[in-house]
Structure 1
Amino acid sequence: MHELIENPKAPRVKRVASLAKKKERNETGRFLVEGPQAVRELLAYRPRLADVVYATTGDEAWQFEIDNLAAQAGVEIERVTPQVLAAMAETVQPQGVVAVARIPEITLTEALAGAKLVAILHEVRDPGNAGTVLRAADAAGADAVVFSGESIDPWHPKVVRSTTGSLFHLPVATAASLSEVVEAAQAAGLETIAADVRGTEVTDAREQLRGNVAWVFGNEARGLGETERAVIGRSIKLPIFGEAESLNLATAASVLLYETAFAQRA
């Protein structure tokens, strides 16, 4: 058993806290996982990614479960004070446990191989939206999620938290350009479809969703540009039956992913 870590200003505490910054994540190849749910899913589904777990002492149910999962995976647990945990975490009120994990090296080819349903996030900047789409993709049975262009880093602490562990359930890849992702998706036998308000209504396009589909979701504010839509090909939209001006990106993505899941299982 290691000694309790009590100094919030200790170098290793600062190293863990620095993973909230993209520069540090890129340099170290590591990211921060916060909270019992996310750490539990990391240890249960991707234990080989886990470097170390830092947890406070106590008798909460999650602590026994995480202790057991860490022991089974051979992952070290370091005990820390609440003050140290607070210094490590990105959240204002951390939940007693964080982990340091390695960023998985997954190529586009690996992520898309054999896939039937994929979500591509292009230039999506909001961490809550990105995490919610990833979580919805997981729930709808998608096979992979890809972040392209200047989208937010999928390993950003807020994205990781908002996925509530779904980040560890399916492959997540990144790509520099949309054209690169579209080319890889088509090579993998997926039809790329843009979620776009200028497209065909999904109620008139359900037959087209029965095949292998890679949905492309664009930036929250401006959507997808003309050049991007041309690269993708087909566009489909959700109808607005009420008086709402539009749908939030994450809401629309969730509905379209489920529409596709229903069609593929019909």
Structure 2
Amino acid sequence: MLENPRSPRVRAVAKLAKKPARAESALFLLEGPQAVSEALRFRPELVIELFATPTALERHPEIAQAVQNAEVELEFVTEQVLEAMADTVTPQGFVSVCRQFPTALKDVFAAKPKLVAILEEVRDPGNAGTIVRAADAAGADAVIFSGRAVDLYNPKVVRSSTGSIFHLPVAVDADLEDVLTRAREAGLTVLAADVKGEDLLAVRTEGLLAQPTAWLFGNEARGLTDEQFALADRAVTVPIYGHAESMNLATAASVCLYESAFAQRS
């Protein structure tokens, strides 16, 4: 059992909360029973190290079984060691070190996707992770991080995705113009989600959402620039019927992705 929270091994794990360490090692930090379960179930080959407190493993016997099935080695640690490793203030008993696994852009479009989410300069980790989760739930074929978007392997992005990063292809560090060129070549219509766009209900009635679609979501604070806006085929806005001043990006993205999912399956 690891008992020293100041040991070099513990410090090496904790460093993965910072981008330079992730970039240098091509590893990332995974926390909590839900995320660890999804990694063991869908991508066990990515799990390099797995740490848990004895109490946490007792509470989650399904993870103990998954560890055996995946033939992954688990090491017990004290609560103090887990707290030193984790990015959260109150970790939930499990920390893992995993290999990064971005999907190549060419592979995203070679798979002939029908629904893709593009995150152009989305900076908030919570928004980014939630959109990945929503895309997964809506049955999207891929998510693409373009421009100066937040790091996919930021611990907050990973936590917000609740394991969805292991379920669908995610490409990172993409150039927006290249992404949109490839999307059109693959037969997708590019729809920008923007307040200057057409009413979502009108676009739904028109039948456009039933077509293969790449949704383009911009930065939380300023949305899409005029140049980025001009790159889309059409622009769509989610109408606000109540008195809310605006809608959170992740919420609006979820609505757009599900509208496409409904239309494509109807």
Which TM-score band (shorter chain)? over 0.9
Are the counterparts in 2 of residues 52 and 100 from structure 1 also a CA contact under 8 Å?
yes
String of CA shifts for 1:53-76, please: whole Å, max 9, x gaps. 111112655542222212211211
1:46 corresponds to? 43
1:179 corresponds to? 177
Is residue 2:114 matched to residue 1:128? no
String of CA shifts for 1:87-133, please: whole Å, max 9, x gaps. 00000000111111000041012123221111111111111111111
1:196 corresponds to? 194
Question: Residues of 2 paired with 1:79 and 1:154: CA distance?
Answer: 28
C-alpha spacing 1:258/1:59, structure 2 compared with 1 (3 Å): closer
Moved over 3 A (4+): 59-63
What SS does structure 2 have at the residue aligned with 1:90? coil
What SS does structure 1 have at the residue aligned with 2:143? strand
TM-score by length of 2: 0.95
Are the counterparts in 2 of residues 36 and 62 from structure 1 also a CA contact under 8 Å?
no
Structure 1 residue ranges without an equivalent (≥5) = none
Question: Residues of 2 paired with 1:177 and 1:199: CA distance?
Answer: 23
Are the counterparts in 1 of residues 144 and 174 from structure 2 also a CA contact under 8 Å?
no
Between 198-207 and 59-68, report the one with greater CA deviation.
59-68
1:98 corresponds to? 95
String of CA shifts for 1:128-180, please: whole Å, max 9, x gaps. 11111111111111111111111100110001011111111111111342112
What SS does structure 1 have at the residue aligned with 2:231? helix
TM-score by length of 1: 0.95
1:83 corresponds to? 80
Between 192-201 and 240-249, report the one with greater CA deviation.
240-249
What SS does structure 1 have at the residue aligned with 2:132? helix
1:230 corresponds to? 230
Match of 1:68 among 62, 65, 69: 65
Question: Residues of 2 paired with 1:243 and 1:107: CA distance?
Answer: 42
Question: Residues of 2 paired with 1:146 and 1:252: CA distance?
Answer: 17
2:215 corresponds to? 215
C-alpha spacing 1:203/1:105, structure 2 compared with 1 (3 Å): closer
Are the counterparts in 2 of residues 145 and 172 from structure 1 also a CA contact under 8 Å?
yes
What SS does structure 1 have at the residue aligned with 2:95? strand
Question: Residues of 1 paired with 2:101 and 2:45: CA distance?
Answer: 10
Is residue 2:253 matched to residue 1:253? yes
Question: Residues of 2 paired with 1:157 and 1:28: CA distance?
Answer: 15
Counterpart code for 1:226: D
What SS does structure 1 have at the residue aligned with 2:96? strand
What SS does structure 2 have at the residue aligned with 1:145? strand
1:56 corresponds to? 53
Counterpart code for 1:224: L
Counterpart code for 1:144: A
2:162 corresponds to? 164
2:11 corresponds to? 14
Are the counterparts in 2 of residues 132 and 163 from structure 1 also a CA contact under 8 Å?
yes
Match of 1:26 among 15, 19, 23: 23
Question: Residues of 1 paired with 2:238 and 2:88: CA distance?
Answer: 35
Are the counterparts in 2 of residues 106 and 172 from structure 1 also a CA contact under 8 Å?
yes
C-alpha spacing 1:69/1:194, structure 2 compared with 1 (3 Å): same
What SS does structure 1 have at the residue aligned with 2:159? helix
Question: Residues of 2 paired with 1:240 and 1:172: CA distance?
Answer: 30
Q: Percent identity?
A: 56
